[in-house]
Amino acid sequence: MRLHMTTTSVLAVLATAGFATIAAAQTEVRFTHAMTGGSNRAALDEIIANFEAANPGITINQIVFDDDIYQDTGLITQLQSNEVPDIYFQWAGFPLSRDVEAGFAADISAEMGAGWSDRFIESAFTDGAGTTVNGAIHMVPLSLDVTNTIWYNVDIFEEYGLTPPETWEEFKAVITTLAENGETPIVTGNNEFWPLGNWASHIAARVVPADQFDAALRQEMTFAEAGFLRPLELLEELHEIGAFNRDMQGLGADPGMATFFQGAAVMHPIGSWLVGLAADLADDDFRYSQFDTPVIDPDAEAPQSVIGVTTGLVVHAQAPNREAAITFLDFLTTPESQVLWAEGGSLSPVEGVTDMAEMDPQMESMAEMLGNADAMVPPPDTTYPLAVAEAWYQAAAFVASGERSPEDALDWLDTTVAALN
C-alpha cells in the first residue's frame, strides 16, 4: 500500500510538472481590432480556430472595440498601455506612417521579404498602397475596402420604378421621386463626421483636379483656391431636395446602417464592410445592391473613380510575442485562409483569392467596380493629416445638414485649417 501511494504521488508530481511545462510553453498573442460581429468576424474566428488547432502552443486573444471607440480612443490607449497588443488593425497611409513615427509599428520587411510578400497582388506594397513607409514594410495587407459606395433597397427602387442612376441629374431625380413619396432617400449616421465626409471626398474628387485635391489637404493651397466650393454646392443641391435624414448629425454610423437595413431609408452611402454586417442587421429576405457615385462631369479628370483604401494588420514594435504574431499573420494570409476571409465579405489582397472564393454577389460587383475604375481616390482621414481631413468633413456636414451655405462653410474650413499651422 505504501509503495502504491508513493508511486501515485510521484505520478501526481510528474503530471503537475508536465502541466506546468505545457502552460509555460503556451504563448498568448494579443490581437486588437474593431470587428465586433458580422460574417467577416465569423470568418476571422474560424481562421483563428484553424490556426490554434494547427499551432497548439499559441493562443490568439482578441481584444475587440466598437468601431467608433477604436478610432477615437481604443487603439491609442492600447498602443500606449503597459500591456501592448502584439498585433493591431490599422488603415494604410497616414495612420500607419503616424504609427511608424511614434514608434508603434514594427518594420517587418525581413519577414515579408522571404517570399511571403509574393502572395499579394502587385500593387499591395507600392507607394500608393500606403503599406510601406520610407520603403520598409510595416503592414500585412488584409482587405481592400471600397470606403464608399451607395447601397440601395432593391424592393423600394422597384416599387417606384427606379433604376440605379448613372449621372448626377438622374441621381437627383431618383431622390426627388423618393422624397415626394414620403421616403427618406438617404440615411447617414454622421455624428463622427467621417461617414458623410468620406462620400463628400469622393464627390470632391470627381470635380476637383487631383493635384489641387491633394494640395488642399496637404495645406499647400486653400480649399477655396483648390475649387472645393463646387462639391459643397453639390451637397447643397442634395439637401435642398430633401435627400438626407434630419437627424444625420446626431445619429451614429452603426444606427445609420441599421436604419437602412430596417427599410426606414432607401439609400445608404458607406463602405464595403456593410456586406459583412448584413447577416446581423438585415432580415433574410432583405434585398439590397449598390452603385458608385454617379458621374458628375464626364469631362472630369477621373469621372468613374472609386474611393478606397487598404487596411491591414500591424505588429507592435514592442510586441512581447513577435515571432508568434508573425506565425499567425503568415497563416492568416495563406490562400486557404483568405478564401474564408473573402467568403466572409472582404476583398482580399492575396493574388487569385477572388477567383477561388464563392463570394457574395455584392462583393463580386465591387471587385468588378474596382477593376473598371479610372482612378482610386484615397480617403482623406487615412491619407492626410487627420485634423485637416476632419475639418473638411465638418464643413461638408454643415452644408449637407443645411447649417451653413457652401460659401460660409468654405470660409470656415479655410480659417480652421489655417489655424492649425
Task: Check residue 128 and give its pLDDT.
Answer: 66
Average pLDDT, integer, range 157-165? 98
Question: Are 265 and 245 contacting, i.e. CB atoms less than 8 angstroms apart?
Answer: yes
pLDDT band of 124, cuts 50, 70, 90: confident
Interval 283-310: pLDDT, tens: 999 999 999 999 999 999 889 888 988 8
Long-range CB contacts (within 8 A, 24+) of 79-84 = 79/104, 79/316, 83/30, 84/30, 84/316, 84/318, 84/319, 84/320
Residue 308: predicted pLDDT: 85
Q: What is the DSSP letter of 245?
A: -
What pTM, to 2 d.p., does this model score?
A: 0.73
Dist. CA 392–CA 204, nearest whole Å: 11
Question: Residue 72 is placed in which grid cell?
Answer: 477615437
Kindly state the cell numbers that stand for 311. 487596411
The Cα 108–Cα 90 span in angstroms is 15
Q: What is the pLDDT of residues 43-63, one digit of tens each?
A: 999 999 999 999 999 999 999
pLDDT at 1 over 50: no
pLDDT at 24: 47
Does the structure show a pLDDT above 60 at 17? no
pLDDT by residue (tens digit) across 215-240?
Answer: 999 999 999 999 999 999 999 999 99
In CATH, 146-307+374-418 is 3.40.190.10: yes
What is residue 349's DSSP assignment? -
25-145+310-367 has CATH 3.90.1150.10 classification: no
Query: With 0-12 CB in 10 A as exposed, 13-18 as middle and 19+ as buried, what is 56?
Result: exposed
Tell me, what's the pLDDT at 239? 98
* Confidence (pLDDT) at 336: 97
Band (pLDDT 50/70/90 cuts) for residue 129 is confident
Condensed to tens digits (0 to 9), the pLDDT of residues 372-384 reads: 788 878 899 888 8
Higher pLDDT, 347 or 1: 347
Cell, residue 158: 422597384
* pLDDT, average across residues 360-375: 82
Report CA Rg, the chain.
24
170-186 as b/e, with b when 16 or more CB fall inside 10 Å? ebbebbebbbeeebbbb
- Report CA 79 to chain centroid distance, whole Å: 19
pLDDT above 80 for 127: no
18 vs 190, which has greater pLDDT?
Answer: 190
Q: What is the pLDDT of residues 63-111, one digit of tens each?
A: 999 888 898 889 999 999 999 999 999 999 888 999 999 999 999 999 9
pLDDT recorded at residue 196? 97
- Residues 141 and 138: their CA atoms lie apart, in Å, by 10
Q: Name the average pLDDT for the chain.
A: 90
Rounded to an integer, the average pLDDT of 317-323 is: 97
Pairing of strands 140-153, 27-33: unpaired
Do the beta carbons of residue 27 and residue 321 sit within 8 Å? yes
Cell digits of residue 292: 458608385
The whole-angstrom separation of Cα 353 and Cα 336 is 9
Grid coordinates representing 324? 508568434
Q: How far is CA 225 from CA 15, 200, 213, 217, in A?
A: 75, 18, 10, 12
**Mean pLDDT, range 149-175, rounded to an integer:** 98
Are 257 and 268 within 8 A, CB to CB? yes
Q: Are 266 and 259 in contact (CB under 8 A)?
A: no
More confident residue, 391 or 93: 391
Is the pLDDT at 11 greater than 60, yes or no? no
Give percent above pLDDT 70 in the chain: 94
The stretch 358-373 carries a mean pLDDT of 82
pLDDT confidence band for 12 (50 / 70 / 90): very low
Residue 8: the pLDDT is 41
With cell 474564408, the residue in question is 340
Give percent above pLDDT 90 in the chain.
72
Of 166-175, 224-233, 312-321, 350-359, the range with the lowest mean pLDDT is 350-359
Q: How many CB atoms neighbour CB 5 within 10 A?
A: 9
Give the pLDDT of residue 25.
Answer: 66
pLDDT, one tens digit per residue, over 328-356 is 999 999 999 999 999 998 889 999 898 89
Least confident of 165-169, 267-271, 363-367: 363-367
Q: What are phi and psi of 404, to 5 degrees?
A: -140, 160
C-alpha closest to that of 260 among 366, 389, 151, 410? 151
**Residue with more model confidence, 325 or 17:** 325
What's the mean pLDDT in 183-205? Answer: 96
Domain residue ranges in the chain = 25-145+310-367, 146-307+374-418
Contact between 349 and 143 under an 8 Å Cβ cutoff? The reply is: yes
Nearest CA among 268, 263, 218, 272 for reference residue 243 = 268
Task: Number of helices (H) and strands (E) in the chain: give both, helices first.
Answer: 21, 10
What was the pLDDT predicted at 130? 86
Report in angstroms the alpha-carbon separations of 217 from 235, 275, 383, 388, 415.
19, 30, 9, 6, 14
Closest CA to 147 of 196, 182, 186, 83: 196
Predicted local confidence at residue 144, as pLDDT: 84
